[in-house]
């Protein structure tokens, strides 16, 4: 009777320690963390780290993937005027990024042609389109606001998060309100 063997326990344990160390270090310090420092924190050699994650990008995606996936599936809350729905969306989408400097760095520093940024921009533009459509009936956004404007406002907020040394909820709320002023219909 043949038995299929999975990975050895030590291999699984090493990978888990690498992910745990990388999660902590990348989230706290951003993308500039040295791979040797992550290996040392995990208690493994650099070669072991690279066996599990052949490139830095592989490791970064492992750590940032959850927050970016959450952003990619989020949308406007229903039954709210466009401006209020954008406030809720911006705030809710930015809160997990406060605890993930690597995800912020990834979004703020991405090459404009990068696949991750393009997927993010496409999703944010879709959210912007929903807000613009909603504003056609509630008239809470300025008439000249486009879906792309809304997407770039969000990315601008991500850049602000990157620049703040220790952003918190009050910072997010403050900068979201400033961004919304640019989108709001003048009375």
Q: What share of the chain is helix, strand, coil (3-state, %, to 5)?
A: 75, 0, 25
Tokens 């911006």 appear where?
90
- pLDDT under 70: residue ranges of the chain: 1-4, 6-7, 66-70, 112-113
Contacts of 42 (CB under 8 A, 6+ apart): 14, 17, 18, 20, 21, 22, 49
Sign of CA dihedral 185, 79, 173, 62: negative
pLDDT score at 67? 61
pLDDT score at 127? 96
Question: What rounded mean pLDDT belongs to the chain?
Answer: 88
Rounded CA gap, 184 and 179, in Å? 9
pLDDT score at 66? 61
Q: Which of 78, 86, 88 is nearest to 141 (CA)?
A: 86
pLDDT score at 178? 96
Q: What is the pLDDT of residues 112-125, one digit of tens each?
A: 667 777 888 899 99
Contacts of 62 (CB under 8 A, 6+ apart): 19, 22, 53
User: Rounded to two decimals, what is the model's pTM?
Assistant: 0.78
pLDDT score at 1? 52
């Amino acid at each position: 009777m043949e038995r299929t063997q999975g990975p050895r326990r030590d291999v699984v344990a090493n990978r888990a320690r690498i992910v745990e160390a990388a999660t902590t270090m990348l989230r706290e310090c951003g993308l500039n963390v040295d791979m040797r420092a992550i290996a040392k924190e995990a208690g493994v050699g650099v070669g072991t780290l690279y066996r599990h994650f052949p490139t830095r990008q592989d490791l970064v995606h492992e750590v940032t993937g959850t927050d970016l996936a959450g952003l990619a599936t989020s949308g406007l809350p229903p039954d709210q005027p466009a401006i209020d729905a954008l406030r809720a969306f911006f705030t809710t989408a930015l809160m997990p990024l406060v605890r993930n400097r690597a995800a912020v760095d990834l979004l703020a520093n991405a090459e404009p042609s990068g696949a991750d940024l393009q997927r993010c921009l496409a999703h944010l533009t879709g959210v912007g389109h929903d807000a613009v459509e909603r504003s056609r009936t509630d008239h809470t956004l300025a008439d000249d606001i486009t879906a792309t404007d809304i997407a770039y406002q969000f990315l601008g907020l991500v850049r602000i998060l990157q620049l703040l040394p220790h952003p918190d909820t009050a910072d997010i709320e403050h900068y979201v309100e400033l961004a919304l002023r640019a989108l709001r219909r003048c009375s």
